Amino acid sequence: MWKRAAKYAALAGVLVFAGLQLAPSGERTNPPVIATHTLQASTDVPARVNGILRRSCMDCHSNETRWPWYSHLAPISWEMTSDVVRARKAMNISEWPTDRPARTIGILNAICAGVSSGRMPLPKYGMIHPEARLSEEDRKAICEWTSTEIRRQVGLRKKQLISQAN
Ligand code: HEC
């Protein structure tokens, strides 16, 4: 009796799971990477920082997302596609803004704040990808780089203001 109920429950579970797969899952896109538009093209990124960005950030914050097999399974797929869409909007390493220093400075500030507070990379990502978790030295290297880069961007912004004033 109970055995039969368990069988039906399992069958219902399988059907619900299969049904979920029919719902649209959002797009797993990787728009083309144009070498001249990347962060690395416009900025001097130290090798160590480059390695951290690639290991810990670029699955969400770039056009080079690795979409693993489970990214095709609802409901995980819904969450992953939505995370990547929101992450790319906030900061896309493949489409780094170069014409608006004020915006770039804002992003750089947010990078250091995000890694220092442990908000980035998202903790759930670190659970699946232990190699993406940041050490204290990683965080320090990131924030040293962002403050150097902010100083450079402030210089660019000043030049922009002066040329606008003339
Ligand atoms: C698993 C996906 C994922 C990974 C990995 C990830 N992020 Fe994010 N990140 C997001 C999402 C999603 C948002 C948008 C948050 C929102 O809309 O509230 C975001 C937002 C941001 C922002 C915008 C400001 C803010 O804090 O909301 C910055 C800056 C940022 N991330 C930096 C990083 C850096 C640096 C790394 C690597 C050390 C990283 N992220 C790794 C998903 C990710």
Ligand 1 pocket, residue 55 CB under 6 Å: no
Above 80 in pLDDT, residue 98? Answer: yes
pLDDT the model gives residue 94: 98
Distance of CA 73 from the midpoint of ligand 1 (Å): 23
Q: Are 146 and 104 spatial neighbours (Cβ–Cβ below 8 Å)?
A: no
Ligand 1 pocket, residue 141 CB under 6 Å: no
Residues 6+ apart with CB under 8 A from 94: 31, 33, 34, 37, 38, 39, 62, 63, 64
The atom number, within ligand 1, closest to the CA of 110 reads 29
pLDDT the model gives residue 1: 72
Among 61, 77, 142, which residue has the most ligand 1 atoms within 8 Å of its CB, making it the best to mutate? 61
Q: Are 94 and 150 spatial neighbours (Cβ–Cβ below 8 Å)?
A: no
> Whose C-alpha lies nearest to ligand 1, atom 35?
111
pLDDT the model gives residue 133: 98
Distance of CA 166 from the midpoint of ligand 1 (Å): 38
Token look-up 């780094």 returns 96
Ligand 1 pocket, residue 74 CB under 6 Å: no
> Whose C-alpha lies nearest to ligand 1, atom 37?
57
Q: How much of the chain exceeds pLDDT 70, in percent?
A: 100
Above 90 in pLDDT, residue 102? Answer: no
Ligand 1 pocket, residue 151 CB under 6 Å: no
Distance of CA 82 from the midpoint of ligand 1 (Å): 12
pLDDT tens per residue across span 20-62 = 888 877 788 999 999 999 999 988 899 999 999 999 999 999 9
The atom number, within ligand 1, closest to the CA of 58 reads 5
Cβ burial, residue 61 (10 Å; 0-12/13-18/19+):
buried
pTM passes above 0.85: yes
Domain locations along the chain: 25-165
Residue type, 143: C
